[in-house]
Amino acid sequence: MDKLLIQGGVSLKGEIRIAGAKNSALPILAATLLTHDTVKVCNLPHLYDITTMIELMGCLGVEPIIDEKLNVEINSSSIKHFNAPYELVKTMRASILVLGPLLTRYGQAEVALPGGCAIGSRPVNLHISALQAMGANITVENGYIKASVQGKLKGAHIFMDLVTVTGTENVMMAATLAEGQTIIENAAREPEVVDLANCLIAMGADISGQGGDTIVINGVDELHGCTYAVMPDRIETGTYLIAAAATRGHIKVKDTQPDILESVLSKLEQAGSEIKIGENWIELDMHGQRPKAVSLRTAPYPAFPTDMQAQFTALNSVALGSGSITETVFENRFMHVHEMNRMGASMRVEGNTVIVDGVEALMGAPVMATDLRASASLIIAGLVSENETTVDRIYHIDRGYECIEEKLQLLGAQIRRIPS
């Protein structure tokens, strides 16, 4: 198992391009199961989770064709099995996204209960109850969700008790081929949900309201193939911008989408960054100044994203003043705090809030990643530390960041991957 070795104290400077969004790519790959035509998905990120989803397609009997740019052509007419096995699902919660497409297209699906990051309860019962409302017969036994339907799923009026991104996506995909109209209320508004909807519309689906909290889907008889490029990754974008702000740097990120990052960019401006934006780029300049502490509260989109909370915790660790960060989405998402305190940070957790008093600099130490975004925050902490930091268990980071050490090297960071 690899580690990252970081020599801190360098201000990030330069330009990088942003990869496609993992959280868009995974549901869009699942959506290719909704048609017998070929769907070409472009701008996929080079990530372990993407490889796992493509492997899952292989288990179902689909043979994806991948070109040198990692564009994938998928034709699911060769599908033979309707079972997503535990060996693959345990590493990636997004595997549950094949449930809706398999059920609505083939009338049956068997998906292992998912694994993924240990950041709190993410209930699959919302997926199950919504599909049951559409006429599915579902049992959970021996660790598997077993679903079937006689004939077609039926459109239904579904109210989501909690805002759930994958739940919204699963039901939206299932509804595209259901009989009649499905209305999802309290739907997730994330840009990645909109991206999936736009891909489904390109395949011939009848969807409206995406990006709002009520999505209306009128079922159609069949979907067709298309070519679709995945949107840029807003979390990767924000992570590099926060790393540059924390290190008092000056960077430009290209091939991104500034309009879906407003809550993050406003916090970076509060921290003292000068930010310039173009149609598909963002430039951040700290003019060599130490960042100012910011306070924030996470909530579902369009509010501040939970996936950026840990990175701002790292920025606050070396900022001027004190900031409080409140987590309202996941209950187990401060595991990085104890690791940063070992590096000399001054942080304390009070309920679902972490209060950070900024210090001049952290001290390098061996630390351990606990989940995907926490591992990104530990890398930022390493970059703002004096001397050397090693980050262990970085398989978490490889699930969500494409070539992170290579991109940071392009920005001047002294970071390299070493075997444990």
Please measure the distance between the N-terminal and C-terminal CA atoms of the chain and give it in whole angstroms: 6
Which residues, at least 6 apart from 241, have a Cβ–Cβ distance to it below 8 Å?
Answer: 251, 253, 264, 265, 268, 273, 282, 284
Q: Give the pLDDT mean for 177-201.
A: 98
Residue-level pLDDT at 119 = 38
At residue 117, does pLDDT exceed 50?
no
Q: Which two tokens stand for residue 114?
A: 């998912």
Instruction: Work out whether strand 385-386 and strand 362-363 pair parallel, antiparallel, or are unpaired.
Output: parallel
Q: Are 391 and 413 in contact (CB under 8 A)?
A: no
* 197 phi/psi in degrees, rounded to 5: -60, -45
pLDDT band at 115 (very low <50, low <70, confident <90, very high): low
Residue-level pLDDT at 122 = 53
Query: Is residue 357 classed as helix, strand or coil in its secondary structure?
Result: strand
Give pLDDT tens digits for 321-350. 999 999 998 777 788 999 999 999 999 999
At residue 87, does pLDDT exceed 80?
yes
pLDDT band at 36 (very low <50, low <70, confident <90, very high): very high
* 96 phi/psi in degrees, rounded to 5: -65, -15
C-alpha 343, offset from chain centre: 27
Residue keyed to tokens 């999802």: 184
pLDDT band at 81 (very low <50, low <70, confident <90, very high): very high
Instruction: Work out whether strand 274-277 and strand 281-285 pair parallel, antiparallel, or are unpaired.
Output: antiparallel
pLDDT band at 296 (very low <50, low <70, confident <90, very high): very high
Q: Give the pLDDT mean for 294-323.
A: 96
At residue 180, does pLDDT exceed 90?
yes
Mean pLDDT, the chain, integer = 94
Q: Are 10 and 405 in contact (CB under 8 A)?
A: no
Alpha carbon separation from 226 to 39, 198, 201, 284 (Å, rounded): 5, 11, 10, 36
Say what percent of the chain tops pLDDT 90: 86
Which residue type sits at 243? A
Say what percent of the chain tops pLDDT 70: 98
Name the catalytic one among 42, 59, 117, 226: 117
| 117 catalytic per annotation | yes
Give pLDDT tens digits for 367-407. 999 888 889 999 999 999 999 999 999 988 988 899 999 99
C-alpha 143/C-alpha 379 separation (Å) is 35
What is the pTM for the complete model shown? 0.94
| Backbone angle region of 71, left / alpha / beta, with phi > 0 → left and psi within -120 to 50 → alpha | beta
Q: Which two tokens stand for residue 174?
A: 């299932």
